Chains A and B, each alone.
Chain A
Amino acid sequence: MRKTSSPRIAPSEITPRDLYHDRRRFMQAAAGAAAAALWPHWLSAGEKLPGVRKTDHVLPDALTPFEDVAHYNNFYEFGTDKETPSRTAGSLKTRPWTVSVEGEVQKPKLFDVDDLLKLAPLEERIYRLRCVEGWSMVVPWVGFPLAELIKRVEPTGNAKFVEFITLYDPARMPGQKSSVLDWPYREALRLDEAMHPLTLLVFGLYGEVLPNQNGAPVRVVVPWKYGFKSAKSIVRIRFVEQQPVSTWTRAVPSEYGFYANVNPQVDHPRWSQAKERRLGEFFKRPTLMFNGYAEQVAHLYAGMDLKKFF
C-alpha cells in the first residue's frame, strides 16, 4: 500500500520488482506451507497471498502492469475520476470485515473475510477486463470460483438471482458523500451466471492482497461482462427470486442493462463498442464477443435477443 504520508524514497533505493518477488519466493519456500496455514495476522493490501495455485487460465495477451491496474480505477465510492481512488482508498479499513450470505439459501452465514478466504484453494487466473467506456486491461486475479461459496450455502429452489452489495460507509468511502450514485452499490447476476466456473470471488491480484482501490477485501470478477458488473468491497451476497435492479441500471436505464455482456455488435447508446483501447497500446483492438469467452458462456444466452437484453 502506498501511503501519501510515507517519506520520499530515492528511486535508486527501490528494489526492482522482480528481485523483490524472487526474494519473496525464496522466503516463502523457506518458510514452507506451515507458515501459510498459520496466518498469524490480518492480511493487508500488498501482502503476498499464501498458497496460490497457478492455473491454465492464461492468455497470450501481455499483462497490464500492476501500476496501471492499481492507478486507473472506476470506483465511484472513492471519486469519479480514474486516478482519485488510488489516492483516497487508504481510508478504507478492510479488517475486520464480514460478508453476510443470505436470502434464499438453506445455510445463510455471516463470514469473516479471513474465513471466506480459506473456503477453497486460491488460484491465479489471468482474465481480460473490458470497461463499458471502451478501454481494457489484462489482470492476474487471485481467488476461487464463486460457485464454491454458493454450493456451501445451498440455494433454495426460489433462488434465481444473486445480488452483491458493496459497503456503505461514507467515512471510509468518501465518494459516498456525493449522491452521484444511489448508494450502496448493487450488482447482480443470474444464478447460472454466478455459478459459472469463470465467475470468480477475488481477494487479490498479482499474487498480492487486493489494493483497496481495486475492491478490497473481496469482490467478484465476471470476465465476459463489462467491468461495472463486477461488484467491489462486498459486504452482502443475497439470493433472491426477482431480478434485482443494478445501481447503474437505476441511474441510466437506457445505457446500462442488467446483462451488460461484452458485445461488439451492440453499441452503447453514446459510443461504439466495436473496438477497445488496451491500456498501454496505441492502436485500438477489436472487441471480442463476450470479451473472448464466447466458447464458455455463449450457451447461457441461447435464444436471447442480446440487443434487447443488453
Chain B
Amino acid sequence: MFVAALIPLARLAAGAALGTLGANPIEKIIRTTGYWTLSFLLITLAVTPLRIVLKLPRLVRLRRMLGLFAFFYGLLHFTGYVVLDQFFDWPAILKDIAKRPFITVGFPSFVLLIPLAVTSTDAMVRRLGGKCWRRLHRLVYVSAIGGVIHYLWLVKKDISDPLRFTVLLTALLGFRAIVLLRRRARGSNSTVLSDRREAG
C-alpha cells in the first residue's frame, strides 16, 4: 500500500527526468499532485464507511498512512505552486490568495491539513486525549470540501473531473450523516455509536 501510494510521485519524477511531461511540465506537476491530494483525501474518508459496511475494523490501521499521503501530496502541490509556478513571488501569491477564488478556498484547505499531520503520532493522540483529538481531526471534512470546491472553481468549463470528486465526497459525507441520524434515533448505546467513537 505504501509503495502503491508513491507511484504517482514516481511517475512524475520519471517524467521530469525524461522530459516527457509535455509542453508545460510545471502545470503538469501541479495538476497531478493536486489530483492525488484530493484522491487521497477521499480514500482516507472512505476508510470508515468501508470498515463499517465490510465489517473490517482492522482497516482503520491504514487510515493514518492514507491521511498522511493526502498531506504529502498536498505539500508537494503547494510547494509546486510556490516554487515552480510563482518562484517565491510572495506579493503575487498573496494577491492570488486574496483575489482568485479557487486559491482563496484552496489555500486554507491545505493549511488545515497541517495540524492534522502534526498531531498524527500516537504521542500526540495521547497528549490531546481522544475526544479533543477526534474533534480536531474533523477538520478533514472542511479541508476535503474546500479542496473539491478549489478544483471546481479552477476548471474553465469541462467540470466532469471535479464533478466526480464532488459526487464521491457527497456520498462519503452522506454516509456519515445517515450513520449520525440513525445513532440519534437509536439512542446512545447502539453499536453504530461505538463504531463512530472508534472511527473518530
Contacts and interface: CB of A to CB of B under 8 A. Distances in A.
Contact of B23 (A72, A180, A252, A283): A72
A271 interface: yes
A252 B157 contact: yes
A272 B99 contact: yes
A178 B161 CA distance: 14
Interface string B124-165: 000000000000000000000000000001101110000000
B110 interface: no
B43 to A, nearest CB: 23
A275 B85 CA distance: 11
A72 B157 contact: no
Nearest to A68: B23
Contacts of A82: 22-24
B195 interface: no
Interface size range on A against B: 20 to 34
B100 A271 contact: yes
B26 A180 contact: no
Contact of B102 (A71, A251, A270, A282): A270
Contacts of B24: 72, 82, 135, 277, 279
A176 B158 CA distance: 12
Contacts of A254: none
Contacts, number: 56
B interface SS class: helix
Contacts of A272: 92, 95-96, 99-100
B87 A277 contact: no
A279 B101 contact: no
Contact of B100 (A270, A277, A280): A270
Interface in A143-195: 178, 180-181
A82 B156 CA distance: 13
Nearest to A251: B157
Contact of A83 (B22, B85, B86): B22
Nearest to B155: A80
Contacts of A251: 157
Contacts of A64: 23
Nearest to A133: B156
Contacts of A180: 157-158
Contacts of A274: 92
A267 interface: yes
B99 A267 contact: yes
A253 to B, nearest CB: 13
Contact of B87 (A133, A181, A271, A283): A283
A71 B22 contact: yes
Given A251-B157, A271-B96, A280-B23, 19 more contacts: A64-B23, A72-B22, A80-B157, A82-B23, A83-B22, A133-B156, A135-B24, A135-B27, A252-B156, A252-B157, A270-B100, A270-B101, A270-B102, A270-B153, A272-B96, A275-B92, A277-B26, A277-B27, A284-B86
Interface of B: 22-24, 26-27, 84-87, 89, 92, 95-96, 99-102, 153-154, 156-158
